[in-house]
Amino acid sequence: MSVIDETLAGTRTAEELAATPAWTRLRTAVESLRALQASDGSLRADLSDADRAAAAGLLDDVVDAVEDLAPSLPHDAGYHRALVADLRRWAAEGFGVPDFLDSLLAFGSMAERVDGLPHLVVFPMYTQNGSTERLLEAVLLSVVWPEWVAAIEAERFTNAKFVPVAFAEFTPGYDTHSAVLFPETVAVRETPSFEWGAIFCDREAARFRRVIGAAVESLHVDMPADAAPLFDDQRVAQETFVLWDLVHDRAHMRGDLPFDPFLVKQRLPYWLYALEELRCDLTAFRAAVELERDGVEAARLVQYAVILDRTLRFPVSGTRHRNYDSLGGQVLFACLRRGGAMTWSDNRLSIDWERTAVVAQELLARIEDLYWTSIDRNKVSHWLAAYDLVREYVEPHVASRWAQGLAELGPEATTKDYNDAALPDEFPLSLFFEILQRRIGPVVDSAKGIRA
């Protein structure tokens, strides 16, 4: 038995810790302190002296609760000591913009993938698809790492930084659509190298089961019998998303990619992000096809999950402001329909799954070729080539300057000018998705804050 396995044997589960008075005190104090914070994490400038004194008392409550919970999580002892020090320093320095770099760097145990390993996470941070403000958050979670996925990761899809997790409890930043915990969202004085990234597979699975279940019913999709566990069994669905996310996350770092395939800290036309995310999902789909041939039973479920989530939930989720995930789903749906893999007839969506495997991989090959040839193009030409690929499948807005040609911008136009010329909803929803959104939009909204 390894050291980490021995630690787990004597550790309380995240669910057990969520039922303790210490967690209740921590959550209450964090939620009260959040109400006093500005968007950058500091205390609001308009607070009275009494409010600031109350903040100091609330921070003491946070520290006391963390210290009460910490003995039940001995594998996180170094992180929790550094966390308490960061909390106390933040208060001592007057609650300015928080800096939790020391505790973030101390959180090395988060990279340990042991099925069921619990963690108490407290940071000032924003939550993607949730809060855009760096407010204090507290989360109790556990690692999800089934043996069969661990074997596939070790043998075929090595991705040491990927950590799938499940919620036990959380504060308001996660009472949202957010399903990730990334260290780069934490308030720090300088950007460190990131050694882990966590994805809440339980939320992804529960959301899929609810939303796609409603979509399949609304569209009268005749699903294959072997897809039933995706909808009927939360554990099976979670593990399906673990395999999907493992390969997707890995794909951002591999292949004939532009210099910055993940498009971090760049302002680009949003269809570039759409194609990157779609490329990674279709890479996971292709891997699942290969794994199915090799006898991995769950690989078939990954194929169902990628296609259904991408084509039926993504397009109708979120706002219409530069929604790259929606656009990627729109592209995939149109490609599959035009390629004979999906048919919408007599108010019924039919899916030819064998044909889907062919058409989806053909689309992936086109995106990969776009990336491969990008090395010989200037930036704006690459943007335009990507635009042309997308518009083959999704009709641009009638007022689009990109669709009408960009020559009017002149030879002195900058990349900012070209980017600004893109409409917030450059590729509106088709009639099909407008109707689907009206049908299942309330179900999509109901998945906010969903847990298994």
**Average of per-residue pLDDT values in the chain:** 94
The structure tokens listed for 214 are 């409603």
Count how many domains the chain has: 2
239 and 152 in a common domain: no
Q: Predicted confidence band at 9 (pLDDT cuts at 50, 70, 90)?
A: low
Dihedral of alpha carbons 361, 209, 344, 351, sign: positive
275 and 388 in a common domain: yes
Q: What is the pLDDT of residues 411-428, one digit of tens each?
A: 999 999 999 999 999 999
Average pLDDT over residues 153-163: 96
Question: Which residue, 195, 230, 263, sits at the end of a domain?
Answer: 195
Residues 6+ positions from 59 with CB-CB distance below 8 Å: 29, 33, 87, 88, 90, 91
Are the beta carbons of 186 and 125 closer than 8 angstroms? Answer: yes
Q: What is the DSSP string of 210-259?
A: HHHHHHHHHHT----GGGHHHHH-HHHHHHHHHHHHHHHHHHTTSSS--S
Percent of the residues in the chain that have a pLDDT greater than 70, as a whole number: 96
Kindly report the three-state secondary structure assignment for every residue of 207-223: HHHHHHHHHHHHHCCCC
220 and 174 in a common domain: no
Q: What is the pLDDT of residues 374-399, one digit of tens each?
A: 989 998 999 999 999 999 999 999 99
Nearest to 174 by CA among 144, 207, 129: 129
User: Does residue 3 surpass a pLDDT of 50?
Assistant: no
Q: Predicted confidence band at 369 (pLDDT cuts at 50, 70, 90)?
A: very high
User: Does residue 305 surpass a pLDDT of 90?
Assistant: yes
Q: How far apart are CA 30 and CA 43, in angstroms?
A: 13
Q: What is the pLDDT of residues 54-101, one digit of tens each?
A: 999 999 999 999 999 999 999 999 999 999 999 999 999 999 999 999
418 and 281 in a common domain: yes
375 and 250 in a common domain: yes
User: Does residue 283 surpass a pLDDT of 90?
Assistant: yes
256 and 130 in a common domain: no
- Return the pLDDT at 7: 52
Q: Look up the domain containing 110 and give its range.
A: 3-195
115 and 57 in a common domain: yes
Average pLDDT over residues 146-174: 97
The rounded radius of gyration (Å) of the Cα atoms in the chain is 23
Average pLDDT over residues 343-358: 97
Q: What is the pLDDT of residues 219-259, one digit of tens each?
A: 999 999 999 999 999 999 999 999 999 999 999 988 887 76
Are the beta carbons of 108 and 82 closer than 8 angstroms? Answer: no
pTM of the model: 0.94
In a domain, 95, yes or no: yes
- Return the pLDDT at 257: 78
- Return the pLDDT at 8: 58
Polymer length of the chain: 452
In a domain, 452, yes or no: no
163 and 210 in a common domain: no
User: Does residue 318 surpass a pLDDT of 80?
Assistant: yes
